[in-house]
A and B are shown apart, each in its own frame.
Chain A
Amino acid sequence: MTNNTEKLPGLTLTAKGLVRSLSLSSQTVPIIQGVDLQIGAGETCAIIGASGSGKTTLLGMLAAMDEPDSGSVEIADDNIHYSIYQHDEDWRAWLRGHAMGFVFQDFQLVDDMTALENVLLPLELAGQRCSKTAKSWLAKVGLTDRIRHYPRQLSGGEQQRVALARAFANQPRILFADEPTGSLDETTGQAMIELLFELNAASGSTLVMVTHDPALAQRCDKIYGLRQGRLASSSEA
């Protein structure tokens, strides 16, 4: 994250040979079985697949949240590559806070924080308390009059807009979205997607989105199809 308002280019994201399995009691279940992908700077990318295909697990590994059993995830900036999982969790946390943004299916707002406090949270974690920035992002998502409201006092659509404002507050250079419309009705979901793409285009960040909606995936520059933990298809617009 930078403190100036200059638009920064998105990051390139590359995954090579990602493998991830889960231990369930005495059994090991493979979830991701050797996935390679590359997303260019500023590109929008959708990962699609049926339930249980491993979309979310893959997103977690790409988003520096979940360490793969093997393989690597790299981010690149000006042709300098950083292998995310060669660094410790503190480094990855810093990366998430300063270069990444997240939009979750269930919004994941902190219940006992107001809309403004939720948007302020990533700024505070980065060591700054800039309510002006937070308010401006809430204004961009059309919630100027709801900044003092708690998540429980907001509708689903409003909560997801707060989540969007929070995701962009730190000017991320790569944005991850996990089924961003999964908890919303069609109309609200559509409006939310418009807003997401609009804000993403304005910020120039790279967008990685998990969805099971083919129509939504079609709006992205690149689509990766996942089946039983393997890449089944990939296409570019």
Chain B
Amino acid sequence: MTAEINSLLQHQKPPLISRFLPLLASTVTRKPSPELWLFFLCQMLAITIVTGILIFTDRIQTAIFQESAKMMAADLVVQSNGLVDPAWQRQAGLLGLDTVQSLRFPSMLFFNDQLQLTDIRAVSDGYPLRGELTASATLGSPPMAQQRLKVALPKSGEVWLDARSAEALGAQVGDQIEVGDRSLRFSQVLVDEPGAAIPSLGFAGRALIRLIDIESTGLVVAGSRVSYSWMLAGEEKSLAIMESWLKSRLSVHDNLVSRVEGSQSTEDILNRASSFLSLGGAMAVLLAGLAAMISASRFMAGQLDNVAIMRALGASRQQLFAVYFSQLLIFSLLALLLGYSLGFGLQSLGFYVLQDVLAMPSELSVSSFIAGAVTALFCLLCFAVPTLLGLIKVSPMRLLRSASAQASQKKAYVVFALGFLLLLFFYSGSWQASLIVYLGIFSLAVAVAFVSVLVTKGLLIIHRRQSLVSVNLHYSASDLSSGSLSERSSAGSHALTSQVSFDRVGSEPKPVLNRLALRMGIAAFCRQPQTSQLRTIALSLTLTILIVIMALRAALLADWQTQLPPKAPNFFAVNILSSEVDSFSTALQVAQVEQQPLYPVARARLMAINHLSFSEWGVTNVDALASLEREMVMTESSTLADDNILFAGQWHGDDSDEIEVSVEKDIADSLKIGLDDKLHFSFAGMEVIARVTSIRKLDWNSMRPNFYFILSPPNLSSFPFTYMTSFFVADQQVAEVDNVSRQHPSATIINVGEIIERAQKLLAKVSLAVEALAWVTVFAGLLVMVASLRMTLDKRLAEQTIFRAIGSSASLLKRSLWVELSIGGLLAGLSAVISAQVILYSLGRWVFDMPLLAPLGMTFMVVLFSMLLVAVVGVRVLKLVYQLSPVTIWRGS
């Protein structure tokens, strides 16, 4: 002994691992407590949500980029007025990027006596870098993908024509087609090429030739309308380096298009959806974390005596920490593995829903899985360890004195709140974004809690009044003051007096029983408003989100369709030559298509304001600056369009002596442009300075041609320009519009309706994913409810023994439980409906500018759903309360 004590004093204790492993082995082989399973379930849910959402959004972005790259035929494209600088080519080579040069221009093709205006694309080896060409051997034969074609591209001296051009020319595969000065052999029928995936109708025919043949055709000379595209593809990192390298070297007429810009509209929808998903996900993780903390703390509370015993038997704090932490860690690892699988399954389900609008990419980001692991670690460290640290400090004196008081949970809640903020920071990488979400959730919780407290107080007041009335009506004074019951607290005695009354009417019919159950249920609910508050808030928070998302989804999707006036234009026609304006209009009239005015358009770039560069002028708006990097479409007009509203200044009309310009209000605000400012435009390298004489407001959703800048006429005629217009085409008129297109092959007719439909389909599907997440959040709220209900189990069992002892039946206890829980559900539902309506009204009033409220039917269903959910789940969770016999509880079994 002496030697042993001495060895301890000299710190010669056996290693911790050898002292805790046997204990751990016996601990983990025992059946885990329900709280540990609940902790596991909560953690798993949090990991599932985080992993699922991150994989989903990450893969969606990859899918969009891939789709965009396919449409662009490359990852990065430099559009310019000439061939690529050899130095750029060398830099791309150094970075290991693949490159292709492409030229595109309209030109006439001849065959026999036929001629056809065709959009000719001349490409170098390797085209396309992304996506695939399809072609067929003869007209009418099935198309084949590029990989299956004997020759991937036309050989030098060959041309591939699309069916439209071939038919217009009356040419067959094998015929010689005149392309400028050259005669090229028509060797394959071009079916599809990257970039042609944009829904379009009618267009000039298409032809594909080799770049090396261009010079010999003599079609590209100085002044020719040729678009040069230098295409690049390769590794993400190399592309990023190349992109930043290029940005400092681009001239004003070069345009750099990355996959991000190429997919802007789709990305906007998905970015918003991702934000919703992230917010909803954060909310679900918060609730799952809260439930995990409650269940962990209940698990720990159940271990207080055991820990005291072990401490009395010689367990050190480290030993106990190691044992319990290992146990939690094992559950966390299991939760992580299962969470990964479920998260992956969840995102697969998301892509299954999106399958007809977006192809699922094969790439899988490791960062999503890391985020899942970090979530598991956070749940463990922030939500369970603080309680564990309190547990291992339990004094063994607990065994000698009946000290059952549990340590305060305040510290644990503080750690939880800070931990959740850290977790948000980890997800977003930005303190600002984290704080916005954090405060947003906090404000929502406070608002819902406020409503919930108000409704609870109201219920309590009604209950007290009713109690007094019913006591006076149905119960005698002796009922209320009998025996030891009078010694109890007023709330407790109230419930018990109800019970005493039941003893007196034990043989009375069911309505009496139901009335007693009702009174007991209400009394039980009122006795513990504080404990029931947490679950009410958690559940109503999730239901609020659910109502808001469901109502928003329904309203916005419906609004998209209803906001457009009947016969709003669904087709745009661009590239209408000046010489064809009259015939084009006439052709549309013949086809009985009502068109908007025709606008002359030219491409230009805003270069400076009042002789100052944008930075000198003080433009800081990032979006505005980005938009200035691209050329924009300019028009001139003497009349103000119907849907344009003059906001400031005077409309220029058609009799101005100087060049005047009218500016759209939003861009004027973001560029800090005011009346009389001088704007410097570059039209194909020629500078035009215009004075701002008016500022307009317009509706971008009108589906009519709309412009940021409108010049006073006649100022476009000195530059190359075409015309554009929009019109509504009914389904039965599509064939006639196709004829118009054939008659005007230089014009490009775009089916915008189809694009919008596709975007809307995407929106509908993505919003479905958002709504699905809202349901997951409800599930997380349900876990909080289950965890908090289980927290009350011991107290309920103790009460149950008293109730049963004085004559209550199991059936009455069950009924009163139904009543109590239904009230909780009703409260959560009502709070959620009120909160959601306030939020929706505010959103409609200040954000969407339309009346927005959840329909009455929906709110009724939510309240009903909430009542049923809480009652059904709660009665199941608390089944021991009415199932166990009092004797079993007394025996401590």
- A interface residues with partner B (beta carbon < 8 Å): 1-2, 8, 11, 56-57, 59-60, 63, 65-66, 77-78, 80, 82, 87, 89-91, 93-100, 102, 104, 106, 108-113, 117, 120-129, 152, 166, 170, 173, 178
**Contact A97-B313, Cβ < 8 Å, known A80-B2, A125-B23:** yes
- Once the chains bind, are A127 and B313 in contact (CB under 8 Å)? no
Question: A102's contact among B22, B30, B313, by CB below 8 Å, is which?
Answer: B313
Within B5-62, the residues touching A (CB, 8 Å) are: 5, 8-9, 13-14, 18-19, 22-23, 25-26, 30-31, 33
- Once the chains bind, are A99 and B400 in contact (CB under 8 Å)? no
Q: Mark B876-893, 1 if CB is under 8 A from A, else 0.
A: 000000000000000111
Specify the chain B residue showing the minimal Cβ separation from A153: B893
| Complex: A66 Cα to B394 Cα, angstroms | 11
Q: Is B506 close to A, CB under 8 A?
A: no
- Once the chains bind, are B25 and A129 in contact (CB under 8 Å)? yes
Interface centre among A65, A99, A122 (most CB of B within 10 A): A65
Q: Is B198 close to A, CB under 8 A?
A: no
**Contact A127-B2, Cβ < 8 Å, known A96-B312, A112-B30, A152-B891:** no
| Leading 10 A-B pairs by shortest Cβ distance | A97-B314, A129-B22, A127-B19, A124-B22, A152-B893, A124-B23, A96-B314, A122-B313, A65-B396, A93-B316
Cβ–Cβ < 8 Å partners of B4 in chain A: 1-2, 98
Question: B309's contact among A66, A94, A110, by CB below 8 Å, is which?
Answer: A110
Question: A91's contact among B2, B8, B30, B312, by CB below 8 Å, is which?
Answer: B8
| Complex: A178 Cα to B311 Cα, angstroms | 16
28 of the cross-chain contacts (CB-CB < 8 Å) are: A56-B400, A65-B395, A65-B400, A89-B317, A91-B9, A93-B311, A93-B317, A93-B319, A94-B314, A95-B314, A96-B314, A96-B396, A97-B314, A98-B4, A102-B399, A104-B399, A109-B309, A110-B305, A110-B306, A111-B892, A121-B313, A124-B26, A125-B19, A125-B23, A125-B310, A126-B314, A128-B22, A166-B313
| Complex: A95 Cα to B315 Cα, angstroms | 10
Cβ–Cβ < 8 Å partners of A99 in chain B: 1, 5
| Complex: A104 Cα to B315 Cα, angstroms | 17
- Once the chains bind, are A90 and B2 in contact (CB under 8 Å)? no
> What's the nearest-Cβ distance from chain B to residue A111, in Å?
8
Q: Is B795 close to A, CB under 8 A?
A: no
Cβ–Cβ < 8 Å partners of A87 in chain B: 9
> What's the nearest-Cβ distance from chain B to residue A59, in Å?
7
> What's the nearest-Cβ distance from chain B to residue A1, in Å?
8
Q: Is B401 close to A, CB under 8 A?
A: yes
Specify the chain B residue showing the minimal Cβ separation from A76: B2
Q: Is B341 close to A, CB under 8 A?
A: no
- Once the chains bind, are A108 and B305 in contact (CB under 8 Å)? yes
| Complex: A128 Cα to B18 Cα, angstroms | 8
Q: Is B318 close to A, CB under 8 A?
A: yes
Interface size for B (C-beta < 8 A) is 40
> What's the nearest-Cβ distance from chain A to residue B750, in Å?
71
> What's the nearest-Cβ distance from chain B to residue A154, in Å?
11
- Once the chains bind, are A125 and B314 in contact (CB under 8 Å)? yes
Interface centre among B33, B310, B400 (most CB of A within 10 A): B400
- Once the chains bind, are B8 and A94 in contact (CB under 8 Å)? yes
Specify the chain A residue showing the minimal Cβ separation from B314: A97
Cβ–Cβ < 8 Å partners of B400 in chain A: 56-57, 59-60, 65, 104, 178
Q: Is B612 close to A, CB under 8 A?
A: no
Q: Is B397 close to A, CB under 8 A?
A: yes
Cβ–Cβ < 8 Å partners of B8 in chain A: 91, 94
Cβ–Cβ < 8 Å partners of A93 in chain B: 311, 314-317, 319
- Once the chains bind, are B312 and A65 in contact (CB under 8 Å)? yes
| Complex: A89 Cα to B312 Cα, angstroms | 11
- Once the chains bind, are B22 and A122 in contact (CB under 8 Å)? no
- Once the chains bind, are B26 and A117 in contact (CB under 8 Å)? yes
| Complex: A89 Cα to B400 Cα, angstroms | 18
Q: Mark B793-804, 1 if CB is under 8 A from A, else 0.
A: 000000000000
Question: A77's contact among B1, B19, B313, B318, by CB below 8 Å, is which?
Answer: B1
Specify the chain B residue showing the minimal Cβ separation from A118: B309
| Complex: A122 Cα to B22 Cα, angstroms | 11
Cβ–Cβ < 8 Å partners of A91 in chain B: 8-9
- Once the chains bind, are B317 and A90 in contact (CB under 8 Å)? yes
- Once the chains bind, are A8 and B1 in contact (CB under 8 Å)? yes
Cβ–Cβ < 8 Å partners of A102 in chain B: 312-313, 399
- Once the chains bind, are A113 and B30 in contact (CB under 8 Å)? yes
Within B309-359, the residues touching A (CB, 8 Å) are: 309-319
Cβ–Cβ < 8 Å partners of A66 in chain B: 395, 397
Cβ–Cβ < 8 Å partners of A94 in chain B: 8, 13, 314, 316
Cβ–Cβ < 8 Å partners of A127 in chain B: 14, 18-19, 22
Cβ–Cβ < 8 Å partners of A1 in chain B: 4
Within B605-629, the residues touching A (CB, 8 Å) are: none
| Complex: A198 Cα to B631 Cα, angstroms | 102
Cβ–Cβ < 8 Å partners of A60 in chain B: 396-397, 400-401
New contact pairs (9) apart from A66-B395, A78-B2, A96-B314, CB-CB < 8 Å: A8-B1, A63-B312, A65-B400, A94-B316, A95-B5, A106-B399, A117-B26, A121-B309, A125-B313
Specify the chain B residue showing the minimal Cβ separation from A65: B396
Specify the chain B residue showing the minimal Cβ separation from A87: B9
- Once the chains bind, are A82 and B5 in contact (CB under 8 Å)? yes
| Complex: A128 Cα to B397 Cα, angstroms | 25
Within B508-522, the residues touching A (CB, 8 Å) are: none
> What's the nearest-Cβ distance from chain A to residue B408, in Å?
16
**Contact A126-B19, Cβ < 8 Å, known A82-B5, A90-B318, A94-B316:** yes
Specify the chain A residue showing the minimal Cβ separation from B400: A56
Cβ–Cβ < 8 Å partners of A128 in chain B: 22
- Once the chains bind, are A152 and B892 in contact (CB under 8 Å)? yes
Question: B315's contact among A77, A80, A125, by CB below 8 Å, is which?
Answer: A125
| Complex: A122 Cα to B13 Cα, angstroms | 16
- Once the chains bind, are A77 and B5 in contact (CB under 8 Å)? yes
> What's the nearest-Cβ distance from chain A to residue B24, in Å?
9
> What's the nearest-Cβ distance from chain B to residue A96, in Å?
4
> What's the nearest-Cβ distance from chain B to residue A69, in Å?
14
**Contact A125-B319, Cβ < 8 Å, known A56-B400, A59-B400, A66-B395:** yes
Cβ–Cβ < 8 Å partners of B310 in chain A: 121, 125
Cβ–Cβ < 8 Å partners of A59 in chain B: 400
Within B375-428, the residues touching A (CB, 8 Å) are: 395-397, 399-401
Cβ–Cβ < 8 Å partners of A100 in chain B: 314
